Amino acid sequence: MSLSEEQREQISGLGLPQSIQEALLDGLENEQFTKAQFDEVIGQVKSDYDHAGVEPCEAVGVIAAQSIGEPGTQMTMRTFHYAGVAEINVTLGLPRLIEIVDARKIPSTPTMTIRLEPDYARDRDLAREVAWAIESTSILHLGSIATDLAEMNVLIELNHEALAQRKITDEEVAETLRSETGLAVEMRDGMLVMAPEEPSYRELLQLVEKIKRLSLKGIDGIKRVVIRKEGDEYVLYTEGSALKEVLEFEGVDPARTKTNNINEIGEVLGIEAARNAIINEATDTLREQGLSVDVRHIMLVADIMTCDGEVKQIGRHGVSGEKASVLARAAFEVTVNHILDAAVRGDIDDLRGVTENVIVGQPIQLGTGDVQLVAKRRDEVIQ
Amino acid sequence: MKKFAVQDHDLVPPHILLSPEEAEQVLQQYGVEARQLPKIHVSDPVAKEIGAKVGDVIKVLRISPTARQAVFYRLVID
């Protein structure tokens, strides 16, 4: 017997989450049952679901803090790992977790995972071309640089194989050097020759340093790109992050390309994407260390961090610093400043939160403590 | 150069702009005022893409690892 339309409606009317509804429908499909059995099953599921829910006034934030904090004590304090075979250095373990909840503007090791469009993802040569187009190319990738002290010249010898590989011509190199330094570039016997404005030894060395730092092609800030085969597609990993620019590159699949810089995701893809990124990054960091934390705790943290429309940190300059209560803020960090400022402004503490009530020694307004009971006196009841 | 819609990205859940009537209905249902809703900046890339203005309410159809789909609302602020 399959489910009748009426029974399906009954299930969808229970107010269960979609995942449970689907599991229930899957389980009931093609099973034999009477109407009474059906009612018993959905009644049991509904009551179990309600039973599993969090009680009103439960301090879910504290539970989330404990649930993430305890496994955190088992994490490696200092890990500098190499992500697989591609020698890209990424921060993992506790430092990374701290970085995520601190909402740092730039993580200590920014890196992007660039996925490619189908044609490019299966062809190693095409994937390499994309990689070279993205990677910031400096003069040292293309040849060697030397100084001629007798002539007070900088000599740049270009390697034509490298030029061809990276699809850049010596004219283009000369043009970039000319516009970036504002100096004349001469071509002499296949070498680029440049002279500093004043023929001094110091100027000469400074010019060499400047030329070495110039980005001739690719995205400035992407120091390295490595190609790795995952399944049947080639994936690029970068050292350095510039999501906005990379999404516009030919051959890059913009829908599946991401960075580990959560603030950058917030700016390029919006606050909801930043929330998803926090959840993914935190879960991955914990899982990599062999720890499993229920995703609900991490979701709560991500929700709090993103509820104001921007990514704010869990800490003095974010969530904790925005608490309404003076005492709660003072109990967290920089105690004297908070109390002094509150005194100057004449702030009032309503004593609604947990911390401030613990400080003054009152019952906290949580769980059963949040229920206000007004009892009728016995004699009144009898009358 | 190709054009890429922010909402096509894997990390971005579908955002739906609600009409003032629909927004009012949501507020009634939850018994809250608009300013009590979570916020989204009008400069947010997705808000810009769907043409939201300050004061609008955006419905977000999140893909949840626990509930499969979760509905979330955000108020557009400056």
Per-domain residue ranges of chain A: 5-52, 137-213, 323-370
Q: In this predicted structure, what is the pLDDT of residue B3?
A: 64
The superfamily CATH assigns to domain B6-77 is: RPB5-like RNA polymerase subunit (3.90.940.20)
Identify the residue among A19, A247, A271 best suited for mutation to test binding to B, counting B beta carbons within 10 A and taking the highest.
A271
* A23 interfaces chain B, CB cutoff of 8 Å: no
- Confirm if A190 and A155 have CB atoms less than 8 A apart: no
What does chain A come to in residues?
383
Give residue A85's pLDDT. Answer: 47
A265 and B11 in contact by Cβ < 8 A?
A: yes
Q: What is the pLDDT of residue A270?
A: 94
Q: What is the mean pLDDT of residues A234-253?
A: 90
Residues in Cβ contact with A379 at an 8 Å cutoff, skipping those fewer than 6 apart:
none
By the 10 Å C-beta count (0-12 exposed, 13-18 middle, 19+ buried), A299 is classed as: buried
Place of tokens 């509904």: A46
* Rounded distance between C-alpha atoms, residue A108 and residue A69, angstroms: 22
Q: CA-to-CA distance for A295 and A68, rounded, in angstroms?
A: 10
CA-nearest residue of chain A to B73?
A307
Average pLDDT estimate for A27-49: 89
pLDDT digits (tens, 9 = 90+) for A71-95: 988 887 766 555 554 577 788 888 8
Q: Does A254 touch chain B (CB under 8 A)?
A: yes
**CA A307: distance to chain centroid?**
16
Tell me if A308 and B38 make a contact (CB, 8 A cut-off): yes
Determine whether the interchain pair A272/B62 forms a contact, defined as Cβ–Cβ distance below 8 Å.
Answer: yes
Q: Letter for the amino acid at B50?
A: I
CA-angle at A327, arms to A324 and A329, nearest 5°: 60
Taking the model in full, what pTM does it have?
Answer: 0.86
Residues of B in contact with A280 (CB under 8 A): 11
Report d(CA A17, CA A307) in Å as an integer: 22
Selecting from B12, B66, B77 the residue whose C-beta is nearest the C-beta of A269 gives B12
Name the residue in chain B with its Cα closest to that of A296.
B66
Pairing of strands A224-230, A258-259: unpaired
Whether A255 has its CB under 8 Å from any CB of chain B: the answer is yes
**Cross-chain CB nearest to A307 (options B2, B12, B38):** B38
Q: Supply A283's token pair.
A: 């879960």
Q: Do B9 and A273 touch (CB under 8 A)?
A: yes
Helix axes A60-73, A271-288, angle to 10 degrees: 40
State how far the Cα of A210 lies from the Cα of A217, in Å rounded to an integer: 16
| Tokens encoding A298 | 């991490």
Which of the pair, A341 or A156, is modelled with greater confidence? A341
pLDDT tens digits for range A118-155: 888 898 889 988 888 888 888 888 888 888 887 788 88
Whether pLDDT at A381 is above 70 = no
Q: Is A208 left (phi over 0), alpha (psi -120 to 50) or beta?
A: alpha
Contacts of B11 in chain A (CB under 8 A): 258, 265, 269, 272-273, 276-277, 280
- Percent of chain A residues topping a pLDDT of 90: 31
CB pairs under 8 A between A and B: 91
Taken in order A266, A272, A273, A275, the sign of the CA dihedral is: positive
For residues B73 and B62, is the Cβ–Cβ distance under 8 A? no
Of A247, A258, A295, the CB nearest to B66: A295
Question: Given phi > 0 = left and psi -120 to 50 = alpha, else beta, which region is A221?
Answer: left
Region A170-176: mean pLDDT is 81
| Domain A137-213, CATH number (from 3.30.200.20, 3.40.50.300, 3.30.30.170, 3.40.47.10) | 3.30.30.170
Using a CB-CB cut-off of 8 Å, the residues of chain A touching B1 are 248
Q: Which residue, A139, A129, A224, A148, is CA-closest to A176? A: A139
Whether the CB-CB separation of A147 and A162 falls below 8 Å is answered with: no
Residue A373 predicted with pLDDT over 70:
yes
Residue with token string 């030894």: A201
Nearest CA in chain A to B76: A309
Residue B52 pLDDT level (bands cut at 50, 70, 90): very high
Query: Which strands, in side-by-side order, build the sheet including B39-41?
Result: B15-17, B57-64, B68-77, B39-41
Tell me the CATH class for A323-370: mainly alpha
Its ipTM equals 0.94
Residues of B in contact with A278 (CB under 8 A): none
pLDDT of residue B71: 93
Query: How close B39 gets to chain A, by Cα (Å)?
Result: 5
Looking at this protein, which amino acid is placed at residue B56?
A: D
The token pair that represents A339 in the structure block = 């109390």
